[in-house]
Amino acid sequence: LLLLLALGTLALGLVAHRLLAPAGNPFARPPAGPPRPLVTDPRVRDKVLKRGFSARRVPPELDAVVIGSGMGGLAAAGTLAKAGKRVLVLEQHDQAGGCCHTFHERGCEFDVGLHYVGQMHEGSMLRVALDQLTDGQLCWQRLPDPYDEVSLGPRRYQLRAGKVAFVTALEEQFPAEKVAIREFMKLSKMASRHVALLAVLKLVPRWLAALLLRTGLLHWISPVFRLAATSHSEAVARLTDDRDLRALLCYVFYGSAPRDSSFLVNVLMVHHYQRGAWYPRGGASEIAFHAVPLIERAGGAVLVRAPVTRILVSPAGTAVG
């Protein structure tokens, strides 16, 4: 088992070395040029974000088709485009961007999904990735501190930016729960460092992953796998009996109720905002507005009002249309 892990690590290292060599890595250099002035003309923005589907707009000799222009779809298409691939993105809505799109009502602009984003400080992995996928055209404005406030009945709790300030503020508001808070932050730090192992589990052969799961060896490699399989409600209940603190530690959960969601996902969300929160100047639609041209420069296209009803598959099981 150790030999297999060593060989896997060596193989990943060789792949990483090849990809990170400046000559062969399209992500090796930062985007050229500073952010340009905001484009506020709706007609100009619509030409990028609301380009409707028609057969003549489908590029020839496509390398890939991405269904959906949400952040995941745009990131996948943008990454392929940076690698020189010609990609078509199909979106059933009338505007690209998914939860990053905006709309106007009575002269005001509204977001449909994005409220704020964490880990957008200079040099962070997320900031570098989004800069690459948007040509560095996004200006991230940091929210004032405290960046959020949670109301639980008549009580209000503030969340402050900064790894030390975040913990200090929690301890000041819950002085009897310092041990629980510090243990939670310890788990958060461990989760952020070990979460990449989940990706490694996807890379190893399926038989090896199944063996690690069935024998329980997975939990000896890292406790992050146990966190992933534990519900948030169960894990937090072990830490504290304070109902307000329990609620505060899971208020940023997404998707399902804490009892049905992974503790790992929720603890990573708390870690995500420890440094504070940022918002893109010009609104959430700026993300899609600058991601689409990058895809188009590689010969691809992002077309809306294009619902996909089926995928044509060859006898060999590959998508052909």
Three-state SS for 170-237 is HHHHCHHHHHHHHHHHHHHHHHHHHCHHHHHHHHCCHHHHHHHHHHCHHHHHCCHHHHHCCEHHHHHH
- Looking at the structure, tell me whether residues 251 and 172 fall in a common domain: yes
Task: Return the beta strands (E) in the chain as ranges.
Answer: 64-67, 87-90, 102-105, 108-111, 140-142, 148-152, 155-159, 278-280, 301-303
- Looking at the structure, tell me whether residues 159 and 267 fall in a common domain: yes
Q: What is the pLDDT of residues 24-76, one digit of tens each?
A: 788 888 887 788 999 989 899 999 999 999 999 999 999 999 999 999 999 99
Average pLDDT of the segment spanning 219-239: 88
Give the chain's domain count.
2
Q: Does residue 319 lie in a domain region? A: no
**Which CATH number goes with the domain that contains 290?**
3.50.50.60
Distance (Å, whole) CA 191 – CA 61: 42
Average pLDDT of the segment spanning 8-19: 59
Q: Does residue 138 lie in a domain region? A: yes
- Looking at the structure, tell me whether residues 95 and 134 fall in a common domain: yes
Q: Is the pLDDT of residue 320 over 60?
A: yes
Total residues found in the chain within this entry: 321
- The pLDDT of residue 23: 59
User: Greater confidence, 186 or 16?
Assistant: 186
Query: What is the pLDDT confidence band of residue 3, given thresholds at 50, 70 and 90?
Result: very low
- Looking at the structure, tell me whether residues 104 and 129 fall in a common domain: yes
Which range marks the domain in which residue 200 is found?
A: 148-275
CB 287 within 8 A of CB 97: yes
Q: Is the pLDDT of residue 228 over 80?
A: yes
Q: Does residue 8 lie in a domain region? A: no
- Looking at the structure, tell me whether residues 209 and 120 fall in a common domain: no
Q: Is the pLDDT of residue 164 over 60?
A: yes
Q: Does residue 316 lie in a domain region? A: no
Q: What is the pLDDT of residues 65-109, one digit of tens each?
A: 999 999 999 999 999 999 999 999 999 999 999 999 888 888 888
Amino acid, res. 31? P
Q: Does residue 318 lie in a domain region? A: no
- Average pLDDT of the chain is 87
Q: Does residue 308 lie in a domain region? A: no
Distance (Å, whole) CA 87 – CA 123: 28
Q: Does residue 48 lie in a domain region? A: yes
